[in-house]
Structure 1
Amino acid sequence: MLAIPIIIHLFHFKRFKTLYFSSLIFVKQIEQETKSVKKLKHLLILISRLLAFAALILAFAKPYIPLSENTLQGKTTAIYIDNSFSMTNLGSEGQLFETAKNEARSIIGQLNDDETFLIVSNDQSAGEQRKYSKAEALQRVNELTVSPFSRTFSETANWIQTQLENEEEKVLSRLIYISDFPVQTFGNDLILNKSTQLYPIQLVAQKSSNISIDSAWFTNPNFRLNTPNELQVIIRNHGDQNIDNLALTLKTNQTQRDIFINVRANDTTQITVNYTDNKKGWVNGKLSILDEGIIFDDDLFFSYEVQEHNNLVIIDGEDAVPNIKTVYELDPFYSVQSFNDKSVDNSVIQKANTIILNGLNNYPSGLTELLAAKAKEGTGIAVFPGKNIALPEINIFLQAIGLNGIARKVNEKFTITKLNSNDLFFKGVFQKLPKTLSLPAQNNYLKVNPSGRTISLLQFENSDPVLLRSSELNTFLFAGSLFKGDGNFMSNAIFSTTLLRIGELSKSEKPLYLTIGENTRYPVLQEQAEKPLRLAGENFEFIPLKTTAQGKSWISVYQIPGKNITAGQYTISDDKEIGHLSLNYDRSESELRFVKMSDFEQALKEKGFHNIKSSILEKKSLISPINTANDKEYWKLLLILSLLFFFTEMALIKFWK
């Protein structure tokens, strides 16, 4: 290319004409001077022309110096748009989520046309794993909607890095992270390449107040016909102002109630809602409040089954007493089945709500494994040991079901003198606790190892516990033998009271609801465990993640398509309806507290990231100053130099006579 101006320059010389003079003495002298000047002029013109063409050629080649001497930058820009529920809050330009989308569109617009993009949200769906062109990226941003999921910065950045490595591109050019940056933003360790340019952009809401229904549970989760229910509800005020006369509405398929409550600023209030179910079967309930701004946490759904019977199983050992079965058979609510400890029916155990171990001395590993799994599901298990227990075996068993082990047997007579009336176990048993109680005595008992895992319900005069419950699971231990001659516990009224309360407090193994995105399970009893399960709601139907073990199935809503799923009630079915399940949104986005951008930058720097340029959008929209070049480019400078050399050439030709 540089040969062209040389050729032009050579052929541009003027041809000399021959003139005849009589004397050439003075002409030769002038000619020598003119040739020297012209030679210098032509040389400067040639150099200017060559430099102009060289600069122009280099400008089209787009030379650059890499930003990092050791690492070549990638060619993909990732734009994360936080589409969690906190982004539905209002900023100065409207909803924060829409503001975030507008910022993303502006940034995409100012980047190069040949740029490739990853458009990422909390959904992390299959569509977010592919790269987009500039036009496709704009379309993808338009399609984003609010999601029930929330992700930390680490989760998002690591997910993006994984997608790059799947395509053998190790380094991201830049990560533009648009969010309101809630307090749980950062997360765990980062695998993102440290040479990535980071552009955190924080959107600021106008209001940081919010009211949410935090959680709900029943005091007695053993639902019976025509028996009062006590529903406990936590209302949380996330703002700085007290809320008075807030209306809380309860709706079920049998009941509707309205309660007005006051909630102090930055505090919680626990409300008890009483009502009665007069029909058996599944009950779908909904708690609601009215709140401005963020509304995803204004409803809480729950489902449970009003049972006609409590399936109660008694496993009899060598020292079993008949009195336990007699007490439960007097109450028609209990459907009682009993087995010898040598012939336990696992299929019946799987359906049991309450399990009583009556006079066992030996606790084989198979039984321990089976009942430990049931205890973790919430099944009520009570242990009344035999006379001649095998200490190592029973201690392994007790540890497995959340109770303390036994230290030794005490062969002394003690009277029960203390009753823990403040514990939930005895709540509602006594209208008014008498000053003196006639309580039984034991001629011998089992001394239990002290630990914080258990709560004492009945104690001897020496403060050793005789009736305990686990603080972790719904399990109970009577630290003695019911066998005749060992005490008179069975002849006292507290005996039948204890048995019936154990049955009443046997929690349903089915939780009231699951939280979308949480790794929790819901047990389902199928006739044929190999059949797939479906969850069908009002506007959405999907196949949940399912696991099966020991003839029982569990479903999870941890990994599900997040675009259309909503909180509400869902029917569980295979070929027929099996039950009901309520889903609720994660409450982590209810707390409107956000990190300072300076703290976020400092956390990144401590992780080894230094190429950071943050922005805060508060009062007006801002197109964040994004570095559109992967490297330090010189084509503009070379273009200017090319024009400068062309002008120099023209000036030499025009003005140097």
Structure 2
Amino acid sequence: MKWVYPEFLFALLVLVIPILIHLFHFRKYKTIYFSSIAFVKSVEQQQKNPRKIKHLLVLIARMLAFTCLVIAFAQPYFPHSDSSKKDIQLIGVYVDNSFSMSRIGTQGELLAQAKELASSIIDKAPRNTQYVLFTNELSGNEKQTLTQVKFVDQVAKINYSPIYRSKEEVLSFWNQWIEDAQKEGNIKSKPNLIYLSDFQKNKQSNLIKKFKSIPSISPIRLTPQNKGNLFVDSIWFETPIQKLGSAQTLSIRVVNTGNEPIESAVVSVQIGKMKRDLFAEIPSNGSDTVQLNYFNQEAGISKGIVSINDKQMNQDDSFYFNYEVKKSQSVLIVNGEDAVENVGIVYGLDDFYKIKEVSTNQASSEDLEKIDLIVLNGLNQIPSNLTTELANYQDEKESILLIPGTNISPTGWNALLEKLELPVINGTQTIGLAVQKLNLKDPFFHGIFEGKPENISIPAAAKAYRLMPNSKTLSADLINYQNGTPFFVKSTGKGNAYLFSTSLKQEFSTFTSNQLFSTLLLHVGNLSQRQNPYFLVIGSDGSYPLKNTSSSENPVHLINKQVDYIPILFLKNKRQTISVQGLEAIRFLEAGNYNILQDGKSLGTVSMNYNRLESQTAESTQEEIKKDFEQAGIHVNNLQDGSNWNSASLLEIGENYDIWLWFVFFAGIFVLCEMALLIFYKK
């Protein structure tokens, strides 16, 4: 027999007190004055022996009741017969150290409680037990077996990690470890797994796969006191136009996962030197979007941070971003045989646009590298090399405006249109070409008109090309003719491409003399700003293209106040690109704004944020947890709630047999016996 809390057995020393009281009680004598002591002596002699026996029985009943109560608190148990064998017992322990474990439980942060529970496992396990400790890292270093001393030392070193794991990933790691250990002959039996986690629903996908090498599991669910969470979910701009002196609106989405509404949450915003406080009213289990209206008053890169004050999971209380406010924008106009000069005139009216005009045979890949907008003005023939260059250019989400000539070659044009995911040209048309419908619901028209425009004067086209979608087309009609065919189209796929279905020469249309012509061209120019990603999510497949990279062999560094990280670089469309994908980036990067440096030269700024997956704090119930494990073919030994106790020695390691309830029962029996004796004694 073994004890869970053997220290309680010291309380048995208190039994000495009633024994001493009993002994001294019978040594007390009382003087009685009586005329004949012979009669008194006879009466006292008759009553003394029964009284001694009754007092002794009461004493024994009390001592037995107290003894049983002390033993019950010490919690004795009989270990499983296998534990007495000479084979070394092995226990697997998984500690969830994701950010959600930073929430506060009844005894501090959940991770601290999980570490304490993990360390206390050794109190119950046999001395020769070995352990396998692993966390969300699931690395090769966590596959080694540990002694008790090393196990406690490794538990103490566990810290928070931005890596989150599903149950399937954890169980796959443990299942593979058991299979490898059995092949190498290191273990004969299949060890139990103790699973310490808060069991969030968003990372606990339903288990479909069967894990035949995992016989049993002992889950311990750690529950926070406050199950809600307040966090900044995302940010976006009302318009992608970041122009010096232009008005801008920043939208911020704040989410509350708690059951109580938040009437006035302070949302602090800092962009460059500007600081503002906004107030969000967030319903329970809902969200609110607050907006900041301001003007871009400084050119260059603006670093921003949005933050809230929340007592749970501080890792998602801040959101970092950056963007570039440009002084100018470059436009390359490729003029063909039927080019119209109105295109260059429109962009030349605004000093913001820096224009370069070339002919078809002069366009080269070098011209495309630093260009924000390319305009094909009146081309009839599109060479194959130009098609390739434009397709690669658009892969970077750059903007292309296509204006056909009067006598195009459908083969060359359609090859380019297919690559740009636009509808192809299928002949010409001359009937029903009055421009009738503007798709004002499309985001393209946001900010062009004040209110809903009425009675827009647009002349009809005399001749136009018929655009036909195919299986590769990903586009939206912005303006349509009366016959329903498109006049102006934009791509909705991987790039930004715009297409007129008619030539701008007089024999096709008089659209260049209409006010809408210059409005469309300038708006396409505004939307074509080359803007790097506002932020990246650490560990995701996002990427950041670099500008002005040198031929130096020295690495690129991402640097902020706490971190100096060398990212992975890869070539994408002839441009060096930063990747923050993979476990290495998750391990070393922190949320924040980073300067990109190479040889001491700045290559830009990139903003990093943690994944918001764990910010949704809904948790699985005990029934859901048990059902999920059993569906995977794993026996659940004992599903514990770790919120109200701090000792994992209560776990049934090896299916031990607890007998402390019997001692509670016998303690009650002896108390009843004492009461019966006292009642009998009075009578």
TM-score scaled by length of structure 1 = 0.78
Change in 2 beyond 3 A, CA 1:80/1:61: closer
Q: 1:63 to 1:108 in 2, by over 3 A?
A: closer
Cα distance in structure 2, aligned partners of 1:96 and 1:143: 15
Alpha-carbon deviations, 1:164-217, whole Å to 9, x = none? 777765986333221111113344875855344333322112222222111112
> 2:136, 2:161 within 8 Å by CA — same for their partners in 1?
yes
Residue of structure 2 aligned with 1:521, choices 525, 530, 543: 543
CA contact (8 A) 2:179 2:213 kept: no
After superposition, residues 218-257 of structure 1 pair within 5 angstroms as: 218-257=237-276
| Residue pairs, 1:259-298, within 5 angstroms | 259-298=278-317
The corresponding residue for 2:119 is: 105
SS of residue in 2 equivalent to 1:326: helix
Aligned to 2:569: 546
Going from structure 1 to structure 2, the CA distance change for 1:488 and 1:294 (only over 3 Å counts) comes to: same
Query: How far, CA to CA, are the matches of 2:157 and 2:111 in structure 1?
Result: 12
Partner of 2:443: 424
Q: Does 1:122 align with 2:110?
A: no
Q: Determine if contact 1:220/1:507 at 8 Å carries over to the other structure.
A: no
The answer as to whether partners of 1:174 and 1:197 remain within 8 angstroms in 2 is: yes
Give structure 2 stretches of 5+ with no counterpart.
Answer: 1-80, 658-683
The answer to whether the Cα contact below 8 Å between 1:443 and 1:485 also exists between their aligned partners in 2 is yes
Structure 1 residues 62 and 265, CA gap change in structure 2 (3 angstroms): closer
Structure with higher helix content: 2
Q: Does 1:484 align with 2:506?
A: yes
Assess, with a 3 A threshold, how the Cα gap between structure 1 residues 610 and 163 changes in structure 2: closer, same or farther: closer
Where does residue 203 of structure 2 map in the other structure? 185
1:554, 1:285 → 2: CA distance?
22
Deviation at 1:629, TM superposition (A): 5.1
In structure 1, how many angstroms separate the alpha carbons of the residues matched to 2:499 and 2:82?
A: 85
Report if the CA contact (8 A) 2:315-2:610 is conserved.
yes
Q: Give a deviation string over 1:424-443, Cα, whole Å, max 9, x none.
A: 32222223444211113212
Structure-2 residue corresponding to 1:338: 357
Q: Residue 149 of structure 2: which of 110, 115, 135 is its match?
A: 135
Cα gap change, 1:217 to 1:375, in 2 (>3 Å): farther
Secondary structure at 1:583 match in 2? strand
1:79–1:175: 8 Å Cα contact kept in structure 2?
Answer: yes
The structure-2 alpha-carbon separation of the partners of 1:631 and 1:249, relative to structure 1 and needing over 3 Å to count, comes to closer
Aligned pairs (5 A) from 1:390-539: 390-391=409-410, 393-449=412-468, 453-472=474-493, 473-525=495-547, 526-528=549-551, 531-539=554-562
Alignment of 1:552-631 (within 5 A): 552-559=575-582, 560=584, 562-563=586-587, 565-575=589-599, 576-610=601-635, 613-623=638-648, 626=651, 628=653
Cα drift, residue 548 of structure 1: 1.7
Structure 1: distance between partners of 2:306 and 2:652: 49
Measure, in 2, the Cα distance between the counterparts of 1:334 and 1:568. 33
Q: Which one-letter code corresponds to 1:209 in the other structure?
A: G
- Give the 3 Å change call, closer, same or farther, for CA 486–520 of structure 1 in structure 2: same
The letter of the residue matching 1:521 is S
**Residue 93 of structure 1: which of 92, 101, 107 is its match?**
107
Q: Cα deviation per residue 1:547-591 (whole Å; 9 max; x = unaligned)?
A: 124431111222325455321111101111111111111111111
Please report how far the alpha carbon of residue 107 of structure 1 lies from its aligned counterpart in structure 2 after TM superposition: 2.2
Equivalences, count: 566
Secondary structure (helix, strand or coil) at the match of 2:623 reads helix
Secondary structure at 1:324 match in 2 = helix
SS at match of 1:118: strand
Q: Which deviations, in whole Å up to 9, do the C-alpha atoms of 1:149-176 show, x marking residues without a partner?
A: 2121222333455567777659863332
Conserved 8 A contact 2:211-2:633: no
Residues 424-465 of structure 1: CA deviation (Å, up to 9, x unaligned): 322222234442111132122233346894332212223322
**Which runs of structure 2 are paired with 1:254-403 in the superposition (5 Å)?**
254-363=273-382, 366-391=385-410, 393-403=412-422
**1:314 Cα deviation from its structure 2 partner:** 2.6
Deviation string, structure 1 residues 17-59 (Cα, Å, up to 9, x no partner): xxxxxxxxxxxxxxxxxxxxxxxxxxxxxxxxxxxxxxxxx99
When residues 409 and 598 of structure 1 are mapped into structure 2, their CA distance, relative to the original with a 3 A threshold, is farther
Corresponding position of 1:51: none
Q: Deviations over 1:252-283 (max 9, x none)?
A: 22311122221222222222211222222211
Aligned to 1:148: 162
The code of the aligned residue for 1:455 comes to A
Counterparts of 2:458 and 2:442, CA distance in 1: 18
CA contact (8 A) 1:157 1:190 kept: no
CA contact (8 A) 1:568 1:582 kept: yes
For 1:404 and 1:135, the matched residues in 2 are separated by: 69
- Preserved CA contact (<8 Å) 1:509 1:523: no
TM-superposed deviation, 1:374: 3.6
Give yes or no for contact 1:161–1:191 (8 Å, CA) kept in 2.
Answer: no
Aligned partner of 1:239: which letter? G
CA contact (8 A) 1:445 1:481 kept: yes
1:571 counterpart letter in structure 2: N
CA contact (8 A) 1:287 1:299 kept: yes
The 1:152–1:341 alpha-carbon spacing in structure 2 relative to 1, beyond 3 Å, is farther
Measure, in 1, the Cα distance between the counterparts of 2:633 and 2:84: 34
Matches for 1:140-219 after TM superposition, within 5 Å: 140-161=154-175, 169=184, 173-187=191-205, 190=209, 193-219=212-238
Kindly state the Cα deviation for residue 393 of structure 1 after the two structures are TM-superposed.
4.8
Q: Deviations over 1:388-415 (max 9, x none)?
A: 4444554453343343344543232511
Q: Distance in 1 between matches of 2:295 and 2:263?
A: 28
Tell me how large the CA RMSD over aligned residues is: 3.2
Q: CA deviation at 1:625?
A: 5.3
SS in 2 for 1:414: coil
SS in structure 1 of the partner of residue 478 of structure 2 = strand
Amino acid at match of 1:387: T
What is the SS of the residue equivalent to 2:316? coil
Between the aligned partners of 2:370 and 2:552, the Cα distance in structure 1 is 14
595 and 397 in structure 1: CA distance in 2 versus 1, 3 angstrom threshold: farther
Aligned equivalents of 1:141, 1:508: Cα separation in 2: 48
After superposition, the Cα gap between the structure-2 partners of 1:62 and 1:624, relative to the gap in structure 1 and judged at 3 Å, is closer
Kept after mapping to 2: 8 A contact 1:255/1:275:
no
Summarize deviations over 1:566-625 as a string: whole Å, max 9, x none.
211111011111111111111111111122333233333334434665333333335265
Conserved? CA contact 1:244–1:262, under 8 Å: yes
> Which amino acid in 2 is paired with 1:382?
L
C-alpha contact (below 8 Å) 1:314/1:356 kept by paired residues: yes
2:74 aligned residue = none
